[in-house]
Homo-oligomer: A and B are copies of this chain.
Amino acid sequence: MQDKREEATEKLNDLINDIDFAMLTTVDTDGVLRSRPMSTQKAEFDGTLWFFTNDATHKVDEIERDNRVNVSYAKPEDNVYVSVSGAASISKDRQKMEELWNPILKAWFPKGLDDPHISLLRVDVEQAEYWDSPSSTLVQIVGFVKAIVTGKPANGGENEKVTF
């Protein structure tokens, strides 16, 4: 079981580690589903997703009301699409922030870790799915969509449903 999770974590890391922005979908009041781009972490994925955020933003209110989120990663040029379902929470863990901090974040947080609103949005992954075709010929597209429909591995592509 541990091996399966490790394998899954490694696979997800391979898929998402060079995607700079993900779309985070949350449930707004009145049940409206909203998404927005989020800058992804530069550190390796180890089973938990982390994003820097400002705790005065609307999405933080949404998460505090309803912590169910989806994080989707798209890399159209490689025909890679990833769906991650999980539970989100806001963290002020200074040590974790120091670990994940990278200079590019200065653009959003000029004061760095001393910004009073800097926070981490943590997503505990509960389910992950991906569509991965090595090339974008019509055959792989068929396989890719078959994978969506059946949830089974398809011609030229892979689709594993991973429960964390």
Q: Which A positions have Cβ atoms within 8 angstroms of B?
A: 19-21, 23, 25, 27-28, 31-37, 39, 54, 56-58, 66, 68-70, 72, 74-77, 81, 83, 85, 104, 107-108, 126-127, 129, 131, 138, 141-142, 144-145, 148-149, 151
Pairs A–B under 8 Å by Cβ, sample size 18: A20-B76, A21-B74, A21-B76, A23-B72, A23-B83, A27-B27, A28-B85, A31-B68, A32-B85, A33-B70, A33-B85, A34-B85, A36-B129, A36-B148, A54-B149, A74-B74, A104-B138, A108-B145
16 additional A-B residue pairs with CB within 8 Å, beyond A25-B25, A39-B145? A19-B76, A21-B74, A21-B81, A25-B33, A25-B35, A25-B72, A34-B70, A34-B83, A37-B81, A37-B148, A54-B149, A56-B149, A57-B149, A76-B76, A77-B77, A108-B145
Q: Which residues of B contact A69 (CB under 8 A)?
A: 33
Instruction: Give Cα A36–Cα B128 distance, bound, in whole angstroms.
Output: 11
Q: Is the CB of A142 within 8 A of B108?
A: yes
Q: Which residues of B contact A149 (CB under 8 A)?
A: 54, 56-57
